[in-house]
Structure 1
Amino acid sequence: MIFYLLSIVVGFVILVWSADKFVEGAASTAKHLGMPSLLIGILIVGFGTSAPEMVVSAIAAMEGNPGLALGNAIGSNIVNVALILGITALVTPIVVNSKIIKKEIPLLLVIVLITGYLLLDNSLTFFEGVILLAGFFSLIIWSIYTALKSRGDTFGTEMDAELIENELSLKAGIIWLIVGIVLLIASSRLLVWGAVGVAQEFGVSDLIIGLTIVALGTSLPELAASVVAARKGEHDIAIGNVVGSNMFNLLAVIGIATVISPMNNIPIEVLQRDWIIMFLLTIILLVMAYSFKNKEGVITRVEGLILVACYIAYNTYLGINLASGL
């Protein structure tokens, strides 16, 4: 048992560090190759912060644990909105200025609804995995078009300042890009091995482990990125990390895992409990981030506290159900 727990801890530490280096290397390389800052922020940073979920879920699916892969994707989305944006807003209220981010949040809601529809029969087929991946590539194309069309957006301005501050040489960027990918894969294998081992030792499903421990661990890059960005006043980066990561999780993470290992007999709780929580949190995010009459597009400290309370309540509910089932 001690080896499983140790592998989870070591896996998380290396995973978070390697994900950060991967994003740093990829962003610097892209900048040297002439990619616009806005496009780097939308694609590379969004993709990079979702890299842990993608690699962990792919390895979990290849090793015959699709429940862990699905739990990781949905659980990470819950962590991203409830815990990460909640903590970030408690540190400093998040002002949403970017028009691109305000377009992405309704799009995220549509993707959440599509995912829910695919889960109605409690299964995800190979063809449905292909549909999700097709949606992911369509999102990439839309993001490129939007970024090239909206060069004056505040999200791009913030990203440009961030890239100048952390820019590496082209050689260093390529080296860290490669090192980051290698360590991401190695640490993900270690993490999956430990998580599955813990699940077997305690007699719980890999779905629950994915929704809780693994989801929290793989979301740590988003937490660090969002809090640091918000403290620097880069609010659109803070919320953009979360929104982009959530879209990538549903389309790419679940899509890749499903293509590798189609999922049958998915527990009904995934749709009736976990998906509903994810859906409600996305609605809450939409309401908080948009400017309505007498309401600016700001996620306040009070709203941040509400989000964190939602995360605590959800995990408490999972814990109570788990304890009653043991």
Structure 2
Amino acid sequence: MLLDIVFVACGLVGLYFGAEWLLRGSVALAWRLAIPTLIVSLVIVGFGTSMPELLVSVRAALSGSSDIALGNVVGSNAANILLIIGVCALISPITHWDKSVRRDVWMMLAASALLLVLVQFSVIGRLAGLGMAVILFAYLAYTYWQGKQRVEELNADLEPDDIKHESLTPGFTALLILGGLATLFIGAELLVRGSTSLARDFGVSEAVIGLTVVAIGTSLPELATGIMSAMKRHSDIMIGNIIGSNIFNILFILGVTAMLQPISVDPRFGSFDVPIMLAVTVAFAALLLGNLGVRRIVAGLMLIVYAGYTVMLVQV
């Protein structure tokens, strides 16, 4: 059991640093290749912070732990909103943001609703996975087409320390990318192996482990990015980080995982976990679409709800 705890701890550390290195290297490469900031924000940052979820879900599905693969995504999306937005808004209340994020909020809602439909079936198959991936790439293409006129404006608004790229040499950039990928793979392997073994030892279902320990662990990059954004009072980066991650988690992570290995669905996901995730997503969307923002009292309530949700998971 002690070895399993060590595996989980080392896996979490590996996922955090692997994602951090990959993200830094990828952004540096994007700037070196003159890829617009818009694409950096939508694709590289969104994909980079979702890499832990991707590797853990794929690794879990291929090893026959579908509950961890699905629970990882569902739990991460709930944690992104209740835990990460809650913590960040306590540091710096979200009161001003780019209202063009409405398009992405609607996409997040649509992806969450689609997941609720998919978990009503016993398996999320390869065709469904392909459909999710196609929807994501169509959304990214549309977003790029719609926002390309704002690239210069976005670049002008970005502060030099938001994306550290100028001091990285080509060799160091390559080292960060390759080292980050390798560390992510090792971290995912250790986290899945340790968490599944602990689940069996304590008699806790793999679904609960996926929804809690694994979900929070793979959300560490979003948490780190969110806290940094909150401290610098960059609400747009904070919101975009979470919305982009939630969209990627469902459409890309589950899409790719299902294409590689169909995901078996425990009935509890359709009756409890995904409906809760969707309700949380709707509430967060209402705060943004209604121009209400997230003040400290709401942030505190989010953290209380997340604590209660975590307790409920063990009892369901």
Q: What TM-score does the superposition give when structure 1 sets the normalisation length?
A: 0.91
Matching residue's letter, 1:276: P
What is residue 84 of structure 2 aligned with on the other side? 84
The one-character-per-residue Cα deviations of 1:190-245 (angstroms, maximum 9, x if unpaired) are: 11111111112122222111101000100011011001111112111111111000
Q: Map residues 283-294 of structure 1 onto 2, 5 A cutoff.
A: 283-290=282-289, 292=290
What is residue 302 of structure 2 aligned with on the other side? 307
The one-character-per-residue Cα deviations of 1:86-111 (angstroms, maximum 9, x if unpaired) are: 11001110234224422101110011
Matching residue's letter, 2:302: L
| Pair 1:275 & 2:270 matched | no
What is residue 59 of structure 2 aligned with on the other side? 59
Contact 1:80 1:219 in 2 (8 A): yes
Contact 1:57 1:253 in 2 (8 A): yes
Aligned length: 316
CA distance in 1, matches of 2:29, 2:287: 35
Q: Map residues 26-37 of structure 1 onto 2, 5 A cutoff.
A: 26-37=26-37
SS in 2 for 1:193: helix
CA RMSD of aligned residues (A): 1.9
Contact 2:24 2:165 in 1 (8 A): no
CA distance in 2, matches of 1:203, 1:217: 21
SS in 2 for 1:309: helix
Matching residue's letter, 1:304: A
Rate the CA distance shift 1:100–1:47 in 2: closer, same or farther, 3 A. farther
Contact 1:64 1:261 in 2 (8 A): no
What is residue 324 of structure 1 aligned with on the other side? none
Unaligned runs of 5+ in 2: none
The one-character-per-residue Cα deviations of 1:245-286 (angstroms, maximum 9, x if unpaired) are: 00000011111221222133x222101211111111111111
Contact 2:12 2:191 in 1 (8 A): yes
What is residue 199 of structure 1 aligned with on the other side? 199
Q: What TM-score does the superposition give when structure 2 sets the normalisation length?
A: 0.94
Percent identity over the alignment is: 29
Rate the CA distance shift 1:298–1:156 in 2: closer, same or farther, 3 A. farther
Rate the CA distance shift 1:99–1:171 in 2: closer, same or farther, 3 A. farther
What is residue 210 of structure 1 aligned with on the other side? 210
SS in 1 for 2:163: helix
Unaligned runs of 5+ in 1: 322-326
CA distance in 1, matches of 2:284, 2:88: 13
What is residue 2 of structure 1 aligned with on the other side? 2
Query: How far did residue 59 of structure 1 move?
Result: 0.9
Q: Map residues 1-326 of structure 1 onto 2, 5 A cutoff.
A: 1-151=1-151, 157-158=157-158, 161-163=161-163, 168-264=168-264, 266-290=265-289, 292=290, 296-321=291-316
CA distance in 2, matches of 1:85, 1:171: 36
Contact 1:94 1:298 in 2 (8 A): yes
CA distance in 2, matches of 1:119, 1:38: 33
Query: How far did residue 188 of structure 1 move?
Result: 0.7
CA distance in 1, matches of 2:152, 2:23: 23
